[in-house]
Structure 1
Amino acid sequence: MKYLAIACHPAKLKGFHYREAFSLLALLILLVPSLYFPALNGPFLFDDTNNIEQNPAVHIAKLSFSALEKAVQRPRPVAVLSFALDYYLHGLSPFWFRTTNILIHICTAMVLYTVLSITINLLFDKNEVRKYRWFPLISAILWAIHPIQVQSVTYIVQRMNSLAGLFLLLSLLCYIRSRLSKSSARKALLAVFCLLLGLLAIGSKPNAAVLPILFILYEWIFLQKSSWKWIGRYLPFLLGALVVLLALSWYFLDGAPLAKLNSWYAKNDFTPIQRVMTEFRVVILYLSLIAFPHPSRLNIDHDILLSTSLTVPPSTALSLAVIIIFLLIGIVTVRKLPLLTFGIFWFFTNLVIESTIIPLDFIFEHRNYIPSMMLIPGIVFCLRRFLKRDTVIIILTVLLTLWSAWTYDRNSAWKSGIALWQDSAEKSPNKPRPHESLAYYLEKEDRDCEALRHYARAAELDPNNPTILNNLGNLNMKTGDFQAALKQYSAALRLHPQYKEALNNMGNALSRLGQHEQAIAYYNKALKLDPNFAKGHTNLANALAASGRFKPSMLHYDRAIELTKNNIEIRYNRSILLLRLNRFAEAEQALQEVVQLKRGFKEAYNNLGVAQEHLNKLQAAMASYQQALLIDPHFKDAQQNLARLENRLNNHQM
């Protein structure tokens, strides 16, 4: 196999074939959406809720500077801005959010094809290039349809990951083009684009900060032909890239990395050394998932045993040994198999932030989106290098078929919250989060008995988790078991006395039992912790009203409305209190605002009629009662009020 020196192959870049590129684009447009179709109409799931569905910064109504500025949130402003634009165009439609993710994934595969095409053209002479002409296209397709990518594409919030991958590859492409350009002006322009795209990658997800190291790897392996002399000559620049990486880390750790790490680890029950040792095994699991991504092995929430030493469990030391062997293979084969070497070092470099000392969750499949970009092509290259052409065709055909089927199957698990977390609870039966999450979605579907079982299992697995106990108490409240709810809230507060949600919920349970004075005490405790706690103000207002203290109740309703703006329930409860205080004109205005916010609110229309009747607006009152009955013809309160009013009018006419 004959490799070329860069000087012998000026920047013609004939490895890129437009016919193949358009063929790839057509294949991806047809194939990828069909494989991801089962999950397209699925709901927002897991962290989608906090980052998109319940994130006011994303919910922009117009494309103004102030709205966009609000959406640009550190440390991932580019990804969050893309969510805001999706919301502006389509509202809270998971279908369109996922469609955007699929388009990003297709674009990323196209850029990967381009980078591989240029790289092959750099490595070989014309005859060898013809031999490997299919390699970029097949590699890009295999990467795009790989089942492990599902979590980065279907899981909407992981657009942070896929966008970072797209901009990272584009930045690398500009770097390569800049290095190969003969024009100084073009070289400088491409360098500027390289920098801007790199910043967009980091702005999508900070783990793209390893980009300078990736430039160095590409430069050394492909442009300098693995020259050790080059490394010695440019060692100051290499150290400079390391300084850039450390500076970015310092920035994202708020200028106090050690303090930040210490504060993070104070909340966890493992040490930095234990995390790093555990990640040895996680990285090997990642490699095995790339090699054999059967849906039965894929999981939204893997359960991984903590490594407390190199021998506990024994696979820790073995995993470290395998990692070292992989790195040694990369070094030894750098001249004979440069694409494999690049794939190996690319893989480990892109895991260095999320799979070392920072105390994130131990394992998530989406972390392989960028690392697998060059590892899969490296493996495909080795297949062609060492096996006969017909054998390679058979292997690749089998992989394309299996991976396509498995990706489709894996997407079926993302069609609903219940399906996703049922799958995880079965695969991680001894981990509390899958049971807690499954219980949450079961409760939303009113499958309360099943939800209770899974909440109870989560509490059994993690008895010191106040959130699980609080959620279990909420479900007890829903099913009417107020005493059981009190027991769960009390247990949560013993673990976390400053837990405002549990304090609030404790008040709710006491209110339902008629113990309003005790409930008021708990609401006040919650509000002392957070004076802007809208739920606390609302529930305190309800309890005060129930105990006959109407004036202070009104003050808390007003404060709750200030904090929540258009919360219909709070506005409605306040209007009912106005009726009880005989402030009918204010009640009428408040109820008109409520029905403007919720047209089908039959109780609000009925009470609007009551207010209007007291104001002697009899025709308006009749119209309000009739509107309530249009919504529900069997609504007894409205029937009685309308009948009484009609009798009153008839008697008046007589």
Structure 2
Amino acid sequence: MNRPVPHQPSCYVVATGIALAAALTYANTFAAPFIFDDIASIVNNPTIRSLWPLGPVLSPPHTAGATVGGRPLLNLTLAFNHALSGQAVWSYHALNLLIHALAGLALFGVVRRSLANTRFAGSATTVAGWTALLWTVHPVQTESVTYIVQRAESLSGLLYLSTLYAFIRGSERTDARGWFAVSVFTCFLGMATKEVMATAPVMILAYDRAFRSGTIAGALRQRPWYYAALVSSWVLLGILMAGNDGRGGTAGLDVGVTPWAYAITQIRAVPHYLGVAFKPYPLMIDHGGLLPFDGVLSAAPYAFALGALVAGTLFAFFRWPRWGFAGLWFLGILAPSSSVVPLLDSIFEHRTYLSLAAPLVVSVLAVTSMLGAHARIALCAIAVALGLLTLHRNTLYQSDVALWTDNVVRKPNNARARFELGNVFLLRGEFPAAIASYRSATRLNPTYVEARNNLGSSLLLAGRPAEALPELETALQLHPIAETHFAAGRCLAELGRGDAAIAHFDAGLKLRPADPDALFRRANLHLQAGQFGVARAGYRGVLALVPNFLEAEVNLTSALLADRQLTEAATHAENAVRLNPQHAVAHWKLGQVRFELEDLSAAIVALREALRLDPNLVAAQHLLARALTQNGQYAEALGAYERTLQLAPDLVPARYNAALVLEHLEQWEPAAAQLEYVLRLQPDFPEAARRLEYLRQRLNSKRIAVPLRP
């Protein structure tokens, strides 16, 4: 008697359910901020600022921390998001969710069509639906979806699945050129997205052997041009990898880790990846670099588990190839990141994005075989539990402080997690919390250069340059970089050690010559030291890099005034006022230039505007009084001197000049009082003493007593 074929749900209903499940579990991610490598890859990535021309967009930076290096398609999608929403995160999360939902649907199609010619054909749609649903809502996927720049993993996953799906469709048809062309095209796109795509041609050949041709040789004989086209995509990947400088020094033989040492760490990593498929809690965004073992005994259980998995997979692939393909899928996709090619980080959970499908499909097949009609209850319960865990995990992503604090709590000896938590506090301006986090990181790892550098910078920003300087000097001893020299220069400048500060800026600028901020700060130190020629050269260098740098225009005006290069000074003062008509100091400098050029009317206008914008600008108030005096407006000048002295009672030149105006107005007694005040402040002022003596004689001749002012 034939067993009745169980009712299969509609493919469209299942696909809709998968898409809705993805939307529900990631509905709370749209405000999750940029974190970790998002900063280098998105926030500080100049190549995504414009979609056109395409050249810069398809040449992403390959500095450390920039996930986009050597991945032009990934960078292009980020440029699309930037064009849509700038640095508002909602569009980035929306596209990540769309990619993940499409990947879930592609997995559904792959599993369903793979089971169509097996003994599970009668339940192919059901098994594929549950597999894709569990895979879509699984919490380990949050790192590839909610962590924005790990779109590299989800997008390459979608393209990987699309490549396989198109092959499956093509292998089912007699006229398969269209589907095979799509497969090759998506394979090339995947190579431009992430290096894990390198395994796709091999994995498709293994699939062909297991589900279609029966042998490797048979597969190659049937489709030689297709496989030749697939393999040709490795050329593109090789070109991209050759130009990305070892992923900014984080991958390859130059990262300071031997292939053997890295391979040893993967004995722990691969079983962990399999473990999180069944126990996805707790998860961590950062496990803390390499994971060495304490000794042979501690490594033995992991080595045995991994060895059994590899041996079982190979045996099954030759004996029961369709079951063996599941193990090959899990291990093969992990191979680029879990082999002997060293990476600075031995474990990241986003690397399991595609591999996760293998244990899930095996588990769903096992549950449906054992429980029959009751399987849907168990699988539904599992899906709900996984979805709730995903929602909880996504809640942590909504706050970068919560995410990194959770990581620190779960792995307190992870120095980098404490460093990243410090970075979050630093960006928020919470300097005490940032300092505490960085100190914890440097206690755990005394040679952690970045943590020492940021600790010094945090102390500097908190107004503690004397404490910051030793941290920065230690960082420079460990690894001298431009940023640390610049921070040390700022510390020394605030401590009044101008020459030493200039030396640090010089050292930093040798490493990074075109840094406008460092050039500007060094020029300021030269200006303060009276080295006007060097200062002028520095400001001109800044303006060549940043033409509309307002402060550089203002300070260059001061340097030019000091050497009485008045015509050029006027040009730069006018530029400063044009750049910001509300900048009081710019108007003051323009007034100063006009005063020196003896254009008193223009000087008075500029100085009055400066004081309208900032009534407490003492130097402008005093210069206005002088300009009014020279312009013969003595009564107004006297008022201007009075306002100057209200702001700065001990400003000797202002009191002396006020005395001269009072004398000119024949107000002898107030003039004498001002001169007496001047001599109390500056007894060795002979001109003031002679003038006071003259006024006293004049007053005595009129028999008028001059009262002393306290």
Q: Same fold (TM over 0.5)?
A: yes
- Output one character per residue of 1:10-62: Cα deviation in whole Å (capped at 9) or x when no partner: xxxxx998x533x34543444323322333212211111111111111111x5
CA contact (8 A) 1:148 1:290 kept: yes
Say whether the 8 Å CA contact 1:579–1:587 is kept in structure 2: no
The separation in 2 between residues aligned to 1:257 and 1:613, in whole angstroms, is 53
Contact 1:476-1:482 within 8 A present in 2 as well = yes
Contact 2:611–2:617 at 8 Å: present in 1 too? no
Identify which of 455, 459, 463 aligns with 1:472: 455
Paired position in structure 1 for 2:191: 202
Amino acid at match of 2:49: H
Q: Where do 1:199-348 residues align within 5 Å? A: 199-224=188-213, 226=214, 230=218, 251=239, 254=242, 264-268=252-256, 270-294=257-281, 296-302=282-288, 305-307=291-293, 310-324=296-310, 326-327=312-313, 330-331=316-317, 334=320, 338=322, 340-348=323-331
Do the aligned partners of 2:187 and 2:230 also contact (CA within 8 Å) in 1? no
Q: How many residues align?
A: 609
User: Is 1:134 aligned with 2:126?
Assistant: yes
What's 2:34 paired with?
Answer: 44
User: Would the aligned equivalents of 1:210 and 1:245 in 2 still touch at CA under 8 Å?
Assistant: no
Identity %: 23
Q: CA deviation at 1:255?
A: 9.8
Distance of 2:423 and 2:142 partners within structure 1: 23
Specify the code of the residue in structure 2 equivalent to 1:590: N
Task: Give distance in 2, aligned partners of 1:178 and 1:306.
Answer: 45
- Structure 1 distance, partners of 2:73, 2:430, is 39
Q: Within 1, Cα distance between the matches of 2:530 and 2:585?
A: 20
Cα distance in 2 between the residues matched to 1:69 and 1:238: 27
Q: CA deviation at 1:308?
A: 7.1
Describe how 1:409-558 pairs up with structure 2 within 5 A: 409-496=392-479, 498-558=480-540
Quote how far apart the aligned CAs of 1:148 are: 0.5
| 8 Å contact from structure 2 (residues 208, 219) kept in 1 | no
TM-superposed CA distance for 1:573, in Å, is 5.2
Conserved? CA contact 1:302–1:364, under 8 Å: no
SS of the aligned residue for 2:192 comes to helix
2:361 counterpart of 1:381: no
Separation in structure 1 between the aligned mates of residue 543 and residue 16 of structure 2, nearest angstrom: 52
Match of 1:371 among 347, 355, 377: 355
Q: CA deviation at 1:222?
A: 1.4
**For 1:333 and 1:593, how far apart are their aligned partners in 2?**
80
* Structure 1 residues 101-146: Cα deviation after superposition (integer angstroms, max 9, x where no partner): 111111111221222222222335xxx5443332222221111111
**Alignment CA distance shift 1:432-1:176 (3 Å):** same
Structure 2 partner of 1:178: 170
Q: Which one has the largest radius of gyration?
A: 2
Equivalent positions of 1:635-654 (< 5 A) are 636-637=616-617, 651=636
Flag the 1:172–1:623 CA change in 2: closer, same or farther, 3 A: farther
Q: 1:193 aligns with which of 177, 182, 207?
A: 182
Residues 1:54 and 2:49 are matched in the alignment: no
Cα deviation code 1:45-84 (max 9, x no counterpart): 1111111111111111x53445545569762111111111
Counterpart of 2:11 in structure 1 is 20
Partners of 1:485 and 1:417 in 2: how far apart?
Answer: 26
Q: Judge conservation of contact 2:330–2:358 (CA < 8 Å) in 1.
A: yes
Matched, 1:590 2:575: yes
Give the Å deviation of 1:164.
0.7
The change in CA–CA distance for 1:334 and 1:415 in structure 2 (over 3 A counts) is same
Opposite residue 182 of structure 2, the aligned amino acid is: F
1:280–1:323 contact (8 Å) kept in structure 2: no
Does the CA-based 8 Å contact 2:408-2:418 persist in structure 1? Answer: yes
User: Would you say the 8 A contact 1:153–1:159 is kept in 2?
Assistant: yes
Work out whether residues 536 and 556 of structure 2, in 8 Å CA contact, stay in contact via their aligned partners in 1.
yes
Letter in 1 for 2:515: F
**1:27/1:234 CA distance change after superposition, 3 Å:** closer
Q: 1:548 is paired with a residue of what secondary structure?
A: coil
Taking a change above 3 Å as real, the CA distance of residues 561 and 379 of structure 1, as seen in their structure-2 partners, is farther
| Residues in 2 aligned to 1:395 and 1:574: alpha-carbon distance in whole angstroms | 75
Q: Please, which moves more after superposition, 470-479 or 576-585?
A: 576-585
Distance 2:534 2:202 in 1: 62
Write the deviation string for residues 140-198 of structure 1: whole angstroms up to 9, x where unpaired: 11111110010101111111111111111111122112222112xxx223222211110
SS in 2 for 1:181: coil
Q: 1:135 to 1:622 in 2, by over 3 A?
A: farther
Question: Does structure 1 retain, via aligned residues, the 8 Å contact 2:60–2:75?
Answer: yes
CA contact (8 A) 2:143 2:150 kept: yes
Q: Secondary structure at the match of 2:456?
A: helix
Matched-pair contact (CA < 8 Å) for 1:541–1:552 = yes
Change in CA separation of 1:393 and 1:65 when aligned onto 2, cut-off 3 Å: closer
* Partner Cα separation in structure 2 for residue 388 and residue 397 of structure 1: 14
Q: Normalising by the residue count of structure 1, what TM-score does the alignment of the two structures yield?
A: 0.82
- Counterpart AA for 1:190: W
CA RMSD of aligned residues (A): 3.9
Distance of 1:568 and 1:433 partners within structure 2: 38
The offset of 1:561, in angstroms, is: 3.5
Structure scoring higher RCO (CA < 8 A, sep ≥ 6) equals: 1
Q: Measured at CA, do residues 573 and 153 of structure 1 come closer, stay the same or move farther in structure 2, by a change above 3 Å?
A: farther
Aligned mates of 1:431, 1:568 — CA distance in 2: 43
Alignment partner for residue 358 of structure 1, among 322, 337, 341?
A: 341
Which whole-Å CA distance do the structure 2 matches of 1:362 and 1:472 have between them?
26
CA distance in 2, matches of 1:67, 1:387: 56
Give the TM-score normalised by the residue count of structure 2: 0.76
CA distance in 2, matches of 1:41, 1:579: 51
Moved more, 311-320 or 161-170: 311-320
**Stretch deviating more after TM superposition (226-235 or 466-475):** 226-235
Alpha-carbon shift at residue 201 of structure 1 (Å): 0.6
Residue type of the alignment partner of 1:117: R
Task: Could you tell me which runs of 5 or more consecutive residues in structure 2 were left unpaired when the two chains were aligned.
Answer: 62-67, 595-601, 640-710
